[in-house]
Amino acid sequence: MSAYAYRLVNVFTQEGGRLTGNPLCVFEDAAGLDSAAMQALALQFNLSETTFLLPSTRASARVRIFTPAYEMSFAGHPTLGTAHVCRTLGIGGNELTLEMQAGIIPVRANGNHWTLEAQPPTRRELSESRAQVATMLGLQAHDVGERPLWVKAGREQLIVPLVSEDAVRRAAPRAELLAQLASEDGTSMAYVFAQSAPARLLARFFFPKGPAVLEDPATGSATANLGGWWLAMGRAPPFHFQIAQGEQTGRPSTLYLDVDAERRILVSGEVLELGRGSLEL
């Protein structure tokens, strides 16, 4: 048997709370693991994502990301959490690059505040009407704001503006309807948000799993896509938002979205290591 070291970190933590944010497991050296073993380990830990570090000839490290059910090309909180572990292991410092299926992702840190630069966004219109989207989300048509869009700044997701924080809190997606949505990779995901102040937003992220709808406490990839949505809506950069997410999951989280004058989309937040261990296979 071989021993594999791992670390548990929380990403997008709120006000230093050690049990806030989105949890992540990072395997420090996955060179001896094949895809099936990685998938099985992700199911073993049963977190939203587990990442595996590998050598790279193109970046500081290569990263594979698995949910309990499938591999992902990109995700935000695994990117920041894995970068934090890389620095701890001496792989890069406060600035490094991570090779993922979606491409090379630059990441930098100021203390434990980590920032990733997303891919340039693309977008496509939604075929469903506003009323259909509202029904999928368990809302009324008047709760949905202007121009929901599919946006991809790493991984395509549906970005849905709502007219109020109350509407965000009332959202109760219907699994059988939400599953009818299809991103380019065949997954069904919806990110809803509303503006609570000029530079503050409240957001939630939903995805179906079997007959149920699950909610993510903090979604960096959707935050990046939100930057693409604002650009599509004609908002002139630079701009900045502080985003609260995870309120309804018991894991309050804080994410930051910046789009600079060069239209680069930057997603950031705090990362805390919670613990570490090893297992034998």
> Known catalytic residues?
49
The answer to whether 266 and 258 have CB atoms below 8 angstroms apart is: yes
Q: What are phi and psi of 58, to 5 degrees?
A: -115, -15
Token digits for 104? 């090379």
- Select from 278, 205, 192, 265 the least CA-distant residue to 232: 265
Distances (CA, A) of 160 to 1, 138, 196, 199, 242: 48, 13, 15, 18, 17
CA atoms within 13 A on the CB side of 181: 32
- Helix pair angle (76-89, 220-232), 10° resolution: 130
Can you read off the two tokens belonging to residue 260?
């600079």
Distance (Å, whole) CA 128 – CA 181? 9
Distance CA 80, CA 220 (A): 9
Q: Among residues 76, 80, 86, which one has the least CA distance to residue 27?
A: 86
Tokens representing residue 125 in the block? 């219109």
CA 65 to chain centre: 12
